[in-house]
Structure 1
């Protein structure tokens, strides 16, 4: 048993294989139980035959005691006195009879303390395995339901588009007030369906990531714990069987000592290690869900918010999501604290596997299983609410009010919306400018369609996306700063050429660094990803930079568009979560390649928070790795 071995971390999406492996191990307990049942039967038969043999020779001894002791015709009757040889023989027969009773006791011990215990152990662990299976099925069902809701949203959207197209054709043929009103109603309904579809895409993608990178590994580790608990209990029973048999004599004891040495070497971690070694496989993550345009209407992946009607619908969705998130956050946090404590106990026991108590380990496993099921369910629901909040807050133009204070959610008690200002500061990138520019469309009017906020873990969150695919006079930086936006916008308009607005240090190989004053030229315009491909004429480098950090003249954009298709834009950027730091309270020395050493007072940037294992993944002094969460504050 090793705290460093985790099937969930090593083998991806392997519930079927791991479950079958654990199931085989539990069924094996029935074979071992049958062995000790048959062994107990043999010992009982041997005891009975040995007892009969002793009684038979006791009778013979009684009839031959006198002749052997004193002869056939003694002059004096010896009475109860027997010859020394007969006394010795009597002792041998007496001890043999006791040995027969010892074998009978061994038979009872094998039956009561080993075979029956194995039967109960199988029943107990099999029930636990069934609970884990139910937990896995429940998670898979929730994931499938979310996928189903995505398919339903797509179907509704396509139907709304078809209806809209029919209404548009009627209005074209007969442009009267009635048809115009009907057309407007159908367009609003179509836009609502589209927004719902986009939200479902984000929810499905985030749920998929959580399922394959959090939920499934959790189930696999639970299966691992069940199998390791089986080994601990089995070792105890084997040692018990050896102990009762060891009392029979030194010869049996020597043979059992050899067996005990092998049993003691049967560490739970060895079973896990060999399983991992023979079950490694090439695995490819399922592709993210992508927006599929309707064949008769919208052909882009942007939110449709041309009027307040669509915004009102999104505000209701936002209010519901905020309400759900708030209620689930407290539940999930309390459950996470309990899981962290249980994980710490499990880790300590696995670290000292030679001294681990099987019952305590199994009880900890049961407690963990009791908490993990509701925690995972609440986390999934919270994730859906969070994605819905992010999708709406980051894709509705700033001129629309997304306040949810006046939303009545079916007479339910409204909680204060903690996300009412997320549009300005959610997932704010540290390197971003502290003041932002105004947002406007090409003609000075409001932007009616904004770029889809990609919530995939591979998208660089927090970087404002240019809504029109180019910067020009439409440069927009959404931050929580209070700078003079009017002045900033005026500055943009004064310069008609390409310009670097803010310094940026590259973070990937396909990016380049830029500084204010650098001369730049456009290579490929922003297609809605939030990134523009340019050439830094001062350094000679070519690559991607955030669209909001530069200004590209409309002349340059037109020139690129006139040269034919723009070069292929790199894949979406990786995720950048809100910057969070922790301070080391205790020093810790790394114990493996995946860990980092920390000293008291070190400030560590959190890359991935504690998932309940008691470990946090962070970066300190340029090194990334795991460190104990409890060592920091």
Structure 2
């Protein structure tokens, strides 16, 4: 009795997909030869025995040429010599017995075509399709792994660039210790460098995890699957051999002994014997590639520790919260897929034992596809798990006191202030983010830098305005207190002040279209501090509705002609006022649809008595047009700037945000120009 040996391509052959795939491909191609053999055999049977001997000899010659390849592969470590695999030995015995089967009949010829050759063709096609799926899967795995490896290189390059920027800004700041802007520029680059360093380290960890999974999980599983496919091929081949032999035995009783020899040989040809021989002749020494390691920049000498200053922790906290949410979602899908795999495995076993229950080939195809899909989902989960583990190890109290925001992507139809950087979010194509819990609003680019301090409940417009005024007051106070600070030793301590002073005078990045432009500002008065937001309470003004208006959205207030309303916020130039009706509802209405009853604020009461309503409401988000008159000539230094000449009238499209540059339009051409080269004009 033959003892079944348990061998595994996945555990015994390391990183050997190419030779295993070639071995399996050759075996499948060999099925075509066996199929052709039986077809030719059927034709020869018509011409009886004198041609059958010649056919057997010809296929002996073919086998001799391919015996080594089919036994131990194309490039074995140890040559097979005169040894043959179990399948090759069985094949030799079949050819020998064929010499004795010279008196076939037409019925046998037809049976060989229908029951043997056609079955081999179907089996060859099915197994080759399944093998190609493995090839595509491994190519995608390799591409996915190389993509992660490439991201390590990109992250390294990006990190080196920021190191260079930090070093350059540090050298500039050292030349003039009183250069406030230089210090801020240095701190800004330092924060960005640390963030990119962290990204670089995360990419390293992810790449190492990918490498380990690729060599110790994905490839072994794929090799075992190929082994199973190869052994299934051999079992199918044995069935065909047995069937062909039985057909011959039924037709030619005189050849019974020879055919019984073939049956015995096929029965003894267990798939594991071929696998054992292939492993024995192809086992090679293998060293696992080294893990990725952090490489310090030649300019900025750093270590391999995750940066944990205040700004970095904010970034890491937001990143880990995102990773946790995504990991939870992916894990649920992986668990569902794993249950599906377990069910398909059980179903495959049942169908294999009893083919009448269902098609085992369909189940096998579904099983392979599900395993492949699960592998890529596990790759995603591996990324998130690695990020969470690395960040948690670097910052043990990463969740201490954290109340993360629940941001959702938002488009704004009217100019809206970013609660983080105080810049404007505008335009339907300029998306921002809004917290579902507290209505905190920010740019998409600011989202990862927002501290995890969600209030947990939505704030009204007044509350958010009061919060901004408090933050602006703190910013001005911090700016004054930092004026006399020494530059040395502030590399990490000044990160939080950089965030608080984001709206102060200094270089900033301007965005035109999709291009970032770092503007070099003209000389400015560095002693001027932007005025703080006014904290004086607003005057409550009564107004009478002149024309009926039906609100078109949730934030617009529907009013009736003659109704008395309370104006909460005057027209800021957009053509709308915020008001509250007598029923207590609050919203915005067109400013030209109302008439003030009591005195308006001093700034505008003297110039307005009554307004006539237009036939249509003003366009939402409309602004007053502002113009500037050029004082000096200026030549554009890049495609992002526009040339101006003394006396030119310029339409202002984006006012100076503190960096000394204004965006304007002349003759339909938009671009930037120095703010102090022009002055605002009225009208």
> Gaps (5+ residues) in structure 2?
52-100, 411-432, 438-491, 494-683
Which aligned pairs between 1:5-16 and structure 2 lie closer than 5 A? Answer: 5-16=7-18
Asked if the contact 2:38–2:116 (Cα under 8 Å) also holds between the matched residues in 1, the reply is yes
For 2:249 and 2:14, the matched residues in 1 are separated by: 45
Give SS of 1:278's match. helix
Asked if the contact 1:329–1:382 (Cα under 8 Å) also holds between the matched residues in 2, the reply is yes
Residue 455 of structure 1: aligned partner: none
Shift of 1:358: 13
- Correspondent of 2:207 among 189, 192, 204: 204
Give SS of 1:304's match. coil
Residue 32 of structure 2: aligned partner: 30
Q: Note closer, same or farther for the CA distance 1:273–1:279 as it changes in structure 2 (3 Å cut).
A: same
For 1:310 and 1:210, the matched residues in 2 are separated by: 29
Residue 221 of structure 2: aligned partner: 218
Residue 382 of structure 1: aligned partner: 381
Give SS of 2:306's match. strand
For 1:35 and 1:106, the matched residues in 2 are separated by: 14
Q: Note closer, same or farther for the CA distance 1:407–1:359 as it changes in structure 2 (3 Å cut).
A: closer
Q: Note closer, same or farther for the CA distance 1:210–1:403 as it changes in structure 2 (3 Å cut).
A: farther
For 1:356 and 1:270, the matched residues in 2 are separated by: 26
Residue 369 of structure 2: aligned partner: 370
Q: Note closer, same or farther for the CA distance 1:100–1:225 as it changes in structure 2 (3 Å cut).
A: closer
Residue 152 of structure 1: aligned partner: 154
Asked if the contact 1:232–1:358 (Cα under 8 Å) also holds between the matched residues in 2, the reply is no
Shift of 1:305: 2.1
Residue 198 of structure 2: aligned partner: 195
Asked if the contact 1:311–1:400 (Cα under 8 Å) also holds between the matched residues in 2, the reply is no
Asked if the contact 2:38–2:112 (Cα under 8 Å) also holds between the matched residues in 1, the reply is yes
Give SS of 1:289's match. coil
Which aligned pairs between 1:322-471 and structure 2 lie closer than 5 A? Answer: 322-343=324-345, 362-396=361-395, 398=397, 401=400, 403=402, 405-408=404-407, 410=409
TM-score (norm 2): 0.50
Quick check: 1:254 aligned with 2:248?
A: no
Show CA shifts across 1:198-224 (max 9, x none). 111110111111111000001101111
Residue 130 of structure 2: aligned partner: 128
Asked if the contact 1:229–1:361 (Cα under 8 Å) also holds between the matched residues in 2, the reply is no
Residue 287 of structure 1: aligned partner: 290
Asked if the contact 1:324–1:385 (Cα under 8 Å) also holds between the matched residues in 2, the reply is yes
For 1:222 and 1:402, the matched residues in 2 are separated by: 49
For 1:237 and 1:6, the matched residues in 2 are separated by: 25
For 2:106 and 2:357, the matched residues in 1 are separated by: 29
For 2:118 and 2:127, the matched residues in 1 are separated by: 14
Residue 536 of structure 1: aligned partner: none
Residue 45 of structure 1: aligned partner: 47
Bigger Cα displacement from structure 2, 228-237 vs 176-185: 228-237
Asked if the contact 2:24–2:226 (Cα under 8 Å) also holds between the matched residues in 1, the reply is yes
Residue 631 of structure 2: aligned partner: none
Residue 673 of structure 2: aligned partner: none
Shift of 1:337: 2.0
For 1:214 and 1:415, the matched residues in 2 are separated by: 40
Give SS of 1:333's match. helix
Quick check: 1:138 aligned with 2:140?
A: yes
Shift of 1:342: 4.1
Give SS of 2:240's match. helix
Bigger Cα displacement from structure 2, 312-321 vs 226-235: 312-321
Show CA shifts across 1:513-542 (max 9, x none). xxxxxxxxxxxxxxxxxxxxxxxxxxxxxx
Show CA shifts across 1:299-332 (max 9, x none). 211111222x222222222122112101100111
Show CA shifts across 1:553-580 (max 9, x none). xxxxxxxxxxxxxxxxxxxxxxxxxxxx
For 1:299 and 1:230, the matched residues in 2 are separated by: 56
RMSD between aligned residues: 3.5
Q: Note closer, same or farther for the CA distance 1:238–1:410 as it changes in structure 2 (3 Å cut).
A: same
For 1:231 and 1:173, the matched residues in 2 are separated by: 78
Shift of 1:413: 12
Shift of 1:371: 1.0
Q: Note closer, same or farther for the CA distance 1:324–1:394 as it changes in structure 2 (3 Å cut).
A: same
For 1:364 and 1:415, the matched residues in 2 are separated by: 45
For 1:121 and 1:414, the matched residues in 2 are separated by: 58
Residue 304 of structure 1: aligned partner: 307
Q: Note closer, same or farther for the CA distance 1:400–1:254 as it changes in structure 2 (3 Å cut).
A: closer
Shift of 1:186: 0.4
For 1:289 and 1:415, the matched residues in 2 are separated by: 40
Shift of 1:335: 1.3
Q: Note closer, same or farther for the CA distance 1:230–1:41 as it changes in structure 2 (3 Å cut).
A: same
Show CA shifts across 1:348-392 (max 9, x none). 999x9xx99999664543232021011000001000001011111
Q: Note closer, same or farther for the CA distance 1:100–1:109 as it changes in structure 2 (3 Å cut).
A: same
For 2:286 and 2:356, the matched residues in 1 are separated by: 36
Bigger Cα displacement from structure 2, 182-191 vs 398-407: 398-407
For 2:403 and 2:227, the matched residues in 1 are separated by: 46
Show CA shifts across 1:66-95 (max 9, x none). xxxxxxxxxxxxxxxxxxxxxxxxxxxxxx
Asked if the contact 2:20–2:223 (Cα under 8 Å) also holds between the matched residues in 1, the reply is yes
Asked if the contact 2:296–2:302 (Cα under 8 Å) also holds between the matched residues in 1, the reply is yes
Shift of 1:341: 3.9
For 1:359 and 1:2, the matched residues in 2 are separated by: 28
Shift of 1:405: 2.8
For 1:234 and 1:256, the matched residues in 2 are separated by: 16
For 1:103 and 1:260, the matched residues in 2 are separated by: 21
Q: Note closer, same or farther for the CA distance 1:413–1:275 as it changes in structure 2 (3 Å cut).
A: farther
Higher RCO by CA contacts (8 Å cutoff, separation 6 or greater): 1
Residue 164 of structure 1: aligned partner: 166
For 2:285 and 2:48, the matched residues in 1 are separated by: 55
Q: Note closer, same or farther for the CA distance 1:415–1:322 as it changes in structure 2 (3 Å cut).
A: farther
Bigger Cα displacement from structure 2, 245-254 vs 405-414: 405-414
Shift of 1:407: 4.3
Give SS of 2:228's match. helix
For 1:205 and 1:20, the matched residues in 2 are separated by: 28
Max radius of gyration: which structure? 2
Shift of 1:249: 2.7
Q: Note closer, same or farther for the CA distance 1:404–1:152 as it changes in structure 2 (3 Å cut).
A: farther
Q: Note closer, same or farther for the CA distance 1:415–1:26 as it changes in structure 2 (3 Å cut).
A: farther
Asked if the contact 1:229–1:358 (Cα under 8 Å) also holds between the matched residues in 2, the reply is no
Asked if the contact 2:48–2:103 (Cα under 8 Å) also holds between the matched residues in 1, the reply is no
Asked if the contact 2:317–2:398 (Cα under 8 Å) also holds between the matched residues in 1, the reply is no
For 2:136 and 2:28, the matched residues in 1 are separated by: 17
